[in-house]
């Protein structure tokens, strides 16, 4: 199947599939059968990864089942792309029943990881007014105006630690992606206020992040007789 793994947002960026495979095998062995879905394993693994890297725990609803289809186009249409302006981002989230607060707090997941030059080049060379000059100079060494599309830069200054430095960086002109800087336009709007709030209140961030992840995990889940419990997370069951 050609699915969300190869969508624009995920292609060459989502990793750890081997870890999920290993967890699935271990869980099936412990449970004496195929009873825990890959969807539930992914949800719990995401939460536990956050905790392992310094974040706070949050509840995870279980009981999801796995899809029997996959769609790259659906993923491209649902996952925000890194070139959206704030109104587009908000509309994307609201179409899923999510709020501005959810948008800002879930964007805090960019406390981890990296992005490719092809996704931050336009911001680097065409949005200099909102970039810290020292930060821009460092990015310029990694990402030229043309070529080196795969050159990586971290999404915040502590890419392997879960913290609220992401929000502090945004307020200082150190947002890597256009979409990240769009959360803080410096116009005193509601989004600006939320970014400042989370930058200054880590405990409130973790409280709201957990609630938003719970809401995100509840978007159109497959339950009951819908879908299946995959035996192998990489493919649908045979027969």
Using a 10 angstrom Cβ sphere, with 0-12 exposed, 13-18 middle and 19 or more buried, the burial of residue 155 is buried
Q: Is 110 annotated as a binding residue?
A: yes
Per domain, the residue ranges of the chain are 4-81, 86-216
Long-range contacts at 196-200 (CB < 8 A, ≥ 24 apart): 196/167, 196/171, 198/104, 198/105, 198/108, 198/164, 198/167, 199/164, 199/167, 199/168, 199/170, 199/171
- Taking only the tens place, the pLDDT of each residue in 103-153 is 999 999 999 999 999 999 999 999 999 999 999 999 999 999 999 999 999
What is the Cα Rg of the chain in Å?
19
Q: What are phi and psi of 68, to 5 degrees?
A: -105, 5
Q: Is 178 annotated as a binding residue?
A: no
- Taking only the tens place, the pLDDT of each residue in 154-206 is 999 999 999 999 999 999 999 999 999 999 999 999 999 999 999 999 999 99
Q: What is the bridge-based pairing of β-strands 114-116 and 152-154?
A: antiparallel
* Cα distance between residue 16 and residue 26, in whole Å: 16
Q: Could you tell me which CATH class the domain 86-216 is placed in?
A: mainly alpha
SS3 154: strand
- Taking only the tens place, the pLDDT of each residue in 31-84 is 999 999 999 999 999 999 999 999 999 999 999 999 998 888 887 788 899 999
Q: Is 156 annotated as a binding residue?
A: yes
Q: Could you tell me which CATH class the domain 4-81 is placed in?
A: mainly alpha
Q: Which residues of 46-66 are buried (b: 16+ CB within 10 A; e: fewer)?
A: ebeebeeeebeebebeeebbb
* Cα distance between residue 9 and residue 78, in whole Å: 10
The CB density around residue 198, as the number of other CB atoms within 10 Å, is 25
* Cα distance between residue 45 and residue 22, in whole Å: 12
Q: Is 82 annotated as a binding residue?
A: no
Q: Is 158 annotated as a binding residue?
A: yes
Q: Is 163 annotated as a binding residue?
A: yes
Q: Is 134 annotated as a binding residue?
A: no
Q: Which residues contact 111 (CB under 8 A, 6 or more apart)?
A: 155, 156, 158, 159, 161, 162, 163, 164, 165, 166
* Confidence (pTM): 0.91
* Cα distance between residue 53 and residue 98, in whole Å: 26
């Amino acid at each position: 199947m050609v699915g969300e793994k190869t969508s624009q947002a995920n292609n060459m960026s989502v990793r750890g599939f081997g870890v999920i495979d290993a967890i699935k095998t271990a869980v099936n062995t412990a449970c004496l059968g195929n009873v825990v879905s890959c969807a539930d394993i992914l949800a719990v693994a995401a939460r536990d990864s956050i905790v392992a890297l310094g974040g706070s725990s949050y509840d995870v609803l279980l009981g999801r089942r796995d899809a029997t289809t996959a769609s790259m186009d659906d993923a491209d249409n649902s996952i925000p792309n890194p070139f959206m302006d704030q109104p587009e981002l908000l509309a994307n989230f609201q179409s899923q029943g999510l709020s501005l607060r959810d948008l800002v707090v879930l964007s805090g997941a960019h406390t981890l990881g990296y992005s490719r030059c092809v996704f931050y080049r336009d911001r680097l060379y065409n949005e200099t007014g909102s970039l810290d000059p020292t930060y821009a100079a460092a990015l310029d060494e990694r990402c030229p105006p043309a070529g080196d599309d795969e050159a990586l830069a971290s999404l915040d200054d502590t890419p392997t630690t879960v913290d609220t430095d992401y929000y502090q960086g945004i307020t200082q002109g150190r947002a890597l992606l256009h979409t990240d800087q769009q959360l803080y336009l410096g116009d005193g709007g509601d989004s600006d206020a939320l970014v400042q709030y989370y930058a200054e209140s880590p405990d409130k961030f973790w409280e709201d992040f957990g609630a938003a992840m719970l809401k995100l995990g509840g978007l159109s889940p497959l339950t009951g007789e819908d879908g299946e419990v995959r035996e192998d997370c990489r493919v649908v069951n045979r027969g």
